[in-house]
Amino acid sequence: MAAPPVPHGEGVDVSTIEPCPSYSSGVSTTPLLGDTIGVSLARTVAAHPDRDALVDRAAGTRLTYREFAAEVERVALGLLSLGVAKGDRVGIWSPNRAEWVLVQYATARIGAVLVNINPAYRSHELRYVLGQSGISVLIAAPSFRTSDYAAMIDEVRDACPDLREVVLFAHPSWDALLAAGDRADPARTAAIEATLSPDDPINIQYTSGTTGFPKGATLSHHNILNNGHSVGALLGYTPQDRIALPVPFYHCFGMVMGNLAATVHGACIVIPGPGFDPAATLEAVQAERCTSLYGVPAMFIAELALPDFDDHDLSSLRTGIMAGSPCPVEVMRQVIDRMGMSEVSICYGMTETSPVSTQTRRDDTLERRVSTVGRVGPHLEVKVIDPGSGVTVARGTAGELCTRGYSVMLGYWNEPEKTAEAVDAARWMHTGDLAVMDEDGYVSITGRIKDMVIRGGENIYPREVEELLYTHPDLLDAQVIGVPDERYGEELMVWVRMREGAAPLTAASLRAFCEGRIAHYKIPRYVHVVDEFPMTVTGKVRKVQMREEALRLLD
């Protein structure tokens, strides 16, 4: 005979109950999408053909969903005319513009893998990405600001044998691609789309590498379409929403959390300009009656600091996303009070997780939005483990944050060993971030196991910068660390040992050496010349001590 049930709370020695583990799963009654990106877009076009889909303020481009779909098909057919096949890699190297979005959806429709290239890259970084991913067709802007993309492409092209075609926006080669698309049979895209699977790789995004070269996080339709859908759903997106996107499309922030979140919910993508400009961003919000605005904290700080900020009508805003680095409480308060973004959300994630794993909710308190990165997203799991043992720690205890679910990448492109280092046998992605989960499941990021620096939303690994500095003829050694910065969250500082007889390195001479060799945001702002680095008894550089000393030096 079974024993009678014990009444709740009676006969239980609560002192023997283990503390609640730092584990949380995103229970949801909404099923995951089983679509490819092209099928999802077609469904939105059918439902909202005459609603605005895309507005590029700088170019004066405005497309309804019907027009957007037609332009996407032109580009898709044009790519097919260049011989692009399912699985081929198509690179895109450009700041934000309407054509970037067209290429994103066109490659998805024909099963090509879009390779996002950071607009800040220089020629040696471009050469590596072209070769490592095997890009056969590169689509690029001719230039932007101080970057002459066409010249850098010419510089590296002979070293990239896989590269067959280069197409430049606002150039005869782009016009020729569109003209070829106009001549082609639209049935070709439909036939190819019928062969695609949501689990096919569709996007490669490069993350800064710890050994001097970035790794290509490979993402599927299923990864990024569902992440965009989830992020947008938690923001309450509907076809009435209009999303101002001053964040770069080459990041998941713009391409997934922005573009895909918009199209899957029938909302409108608004591009304020090719690069971030605070005045142009607020003008776009006002003119287009945007309901949502994205940015890293530094972007919101710049917008709020405009002398004519109060002259802008931002009354249409209700929500948006702030991500990339911790948000100061005063900035969040102003975003809510002065910008009217009462439902603004904090998101946390990484490229390898498509990207968002945790997110604050629309009704979360100000304290939650500035002290945590929210709770786990729908259909995902997060846990905090002891980095040494791998055992899940109790809530309130710091450890490494891991995440699992539909969002975890397929792997690093052609790098199975590095994939295995990041994703374990149970498909948990190890983020390398130190975190604490509270009793309600909210996660706070407290540090990083490795030395990654997040500057204004850009992930920077010191080793990559150090390897460049090792080529400086006057430097004996260099160690890069992150230091706090009010504007960007963190800035780079380099400690250097000079060769005998060399003049001490300055911030200006360091910048002069680095410019043109590495992306601008990776150039250290501060330089500290020393005779020796602080070392452990085993001969390892003590970066913890260096960061502590840096705080005193910069105070």
Question: Is 350 a domain residue?
Answer: no
DSSP assignment letter at 122:
-
User: What's the rounded mean pLDDT across residues 534-554?
Assistant: 80
What does the alpha-carbon distance between residue 376 and residue 25 come to, in Å, rounded to a whole number?
6
Total domain count, the chain = 2
Q: What pLDDT band is residue 166 in, cutting at 50, 70 and 90?
A: very high
Note the pLDDT of residue 540. 60
Question: Would you say residue 270 has pLDDT above 70?
Answer: yes
More confident residue, 495 or 461: 495
Considering the domain boundaries, does residue 366 fall inside one? no
pLDDT given for residue 103 in this prediction? 99
Is-contact 496 469, C-beta < 8 A? yes
Q: What is the pLDDT of residue 379?
A: 98
Residue 180 above 50 pLDDT? yes
Residue 467 placed within a domain:
yes
- Residue 453: what pLDDT? 87
User: In the numeric block, which tokens belong to residue 206?
Assistant: 């490069």
Quick check: 525 and 510 in contact, CB under 8 A?
no
pLDDT at 281 over 90: yes
pLDDT at position 17, please?
A: 55
Q: Strands (DSSP E) along 28-164, which ranges?
A: 52-56, 61-64, 89-93, 113-117, 135-140
Confidence of residue 316 (pLDDT cuts 50, 70, 90): very high
Q: What is the mean pLDDT of the segment spanning 362-375?
A: 94
Cα separation, 459 vs 448, whole angstroms: 12
Q: Are 142 and 170 in contact (CB under 8 A)?
A: yes
What percent of the chain clears pLDDT 70, i.e. is strictly above it? 95
Give residues with Cβ within 8 angstroms of 320, minimum separation 6: 235, 244, 292, 293, 294, 295, 335, 341, 344, 345
The residue from 129, 161, 196 where one domain ends is 196
CATH number at residue 505: 3.30.300.30
pLDDT digits (tens, 9 = 90+) for 27-36: 999 999 999 9
Residue 492 forms part of a structural domain:
yes
Is residue 384 included in any domain, yes or no?
A: no
Q: With cut-offs at 50, 70 and 90, classify the pLDDT of residue 536.
A: low
Q: What is the pLDDT of residues 200-221, one digit of tens each?
A: 999 999 986 434 578 999 999 9
Domain assignment present for residue 76? The answer is yes
What is the C-alpha separation between 535 and 548, in angstroms, rounded? 14
The predicted structure's pLDDT at residue 297: 87
> Which of 163, 196, 229 is the C-terminal boundary of a domain?
196
Which amino acid makes up residue 265?
A: H
Residue 299's φ and ψ, nearest 5 degrees, are: -65, -45
**What is the per-residue pLDDT for 396?**
96
% of the chain residues with pLDDT over 90: 83
pLDDT of residue 325: 74
Last residue of a domain, one of 167, 196, 225: 196
Length of the chain: 555
Ramachandran bin of 125, using left for φ above 0, alpha for ψ from -120 to 50, beta for the remaining angles: alpha
pLDDT of 477 reads: 82
Nearest alpha-carbon partner for 22 in 391, 356, 430: 391
Q: Which domain holds residue 513?
A: 453-554
Residue 82 falls inside a structural domain: yes
pLDDT at 326 over 80: no
How does the average pLDDT of the chain come out, rounded? 93
| H-assigned helices in 211-340 | 221-234, 252-254, 261-265, 278-288, 297-304, 329-337
Q: At what angle do helices 65-81 and 172-183 cross, to 10 degrees?
A: 100
In this structure, the number of other CB atoms found within 10 A of the CB of residue 79 comes to 28
Domain assignment present for 125: yes
User: What CATH number has the domain bearing residue 128?
Assistant: 3.40.50.980
The burial of 105, by beta-carbon neighbours within 10 Å (0-12 exposed, 13-18 middle, 19 or more buried), is given as: buried
Residue 537 above 50 pLDDT? no
Question: What is the CA 168 to chain-centroid distance, rounded?
Answer: 24
Q: What pLDDT score does 212 carry?
A: 54
User: Which residue carries 């498509």 as its tokens?
Assistant: 354
For residues 410-423, average pLDDT: 97
In this predicted structure, the answer to whether residue 12 has a pLDDT above a threshold of 50 is no
| Reported confidence tier of residue 526, pLDDT bands at 50, 70, 90 | very high
Instruction: Kindly tell me the burial class for residue 250, based on how many C-beta atoms sit within 10 Å of its own C-beta (0-12, 13-18, 19 or more).
Output: buried
Residue 117 — pLDDT band, cuts 50, 70, 90?
very high
d(CA 401, CA 211): 22
Handedness of CA 124, 205, 428, 439 (dihedral sign): positive
